[in-house]
Amino acid sequence: MGEAVLHDYWRSSAAYRVRIVLNLKGILWRGLPLDMIGGEHKHDDYTALNPQGLVPTLEIDGHVLTQSLAIIDYLDATHKTPAMVSADPARRARTLAQALIVAADIHPVNNMRILNALRSDFGASEEQVRLWVQRWIAEGFAALERMAPEAGLFGGDMPDLADVCLVPQMYNARRFELDLTPYPRLVRIDAAARALDPVARAAPEAVRAG
């Protein structure tokens, strides 16, 4: 099995999720960073791999995979431990619901292209953009806080898909100066997850520095 190649942007929360899972599963990979500020993700050579021109894209086992949750699903099917979702149908559904609060409800309305459209098409100020981001994170976090366990990670002793989605979103929450006081369980889970070496090595600052 050769080295996996991750087409990456250091600040992308979707790519951050995949970096965490690659590290947790001990998969050998290297990153090919894209300058998304400079528009490299729209170049023809990249859109030939990923027609959406988004990150991440993972080249692995002779396949070219896109969309972070689809990539993670593939990694979970081919590298069984640690499992990102349970084999038990009810527990699997619960974990997916928690993860999708971030991946389907918070993140899509707050990603770079949406924020740029708010600025360019609707004349939003930076303060208005910040308030927009805070609004949708806060709405999702309020629900996720109620679902969070009193102790341990969402996945118990090891991160599961909900933890993998939470950590990058917490990074975004801090970046956009959301008050995290109302979410003590999420703050605890995020800190515990980021203390794990595979998660720490996936952090934006670690990737950008290395």
Average pLDDT score over residue span 77-99: 97
Strands 57-60 and 63-66 turn out to be antiparallel
Contacts of 124 by beta carbon, 8 Å cutoff, 6+ apart: 118, 132
Residues 31-47: tens digit of each pLDDT: 999 988 888 998 999 99
pLDDT at 36: 85
d(CA 76, CA 91): 16
pLDDT tens digits for 102-111? 999 999 999 9
Q: What percent of the chain has pLDDT over 70?
A: 99
Residue 39 is predicted with a pLDDT of 85
- Residue ranges and CATH numbers for the domains of the chain are 4-82 (3.40.30.10), 89-198 (1.20.1050.10)
Q: Residues 44-82: pLDDT tens digits?
A: 999 999 999 999 999 999 999 999 999 999 999 999 999
159-207 pLDDT per residue, tens:
999 999 999 999 999 999 999 999 999 999 999 999 999 999 999 999 9
pLDDT(1) > 70: no
Residues forming a β-bridge with 4: 29
Q: Over range 14-24, report the average pLDDT.
A: 98
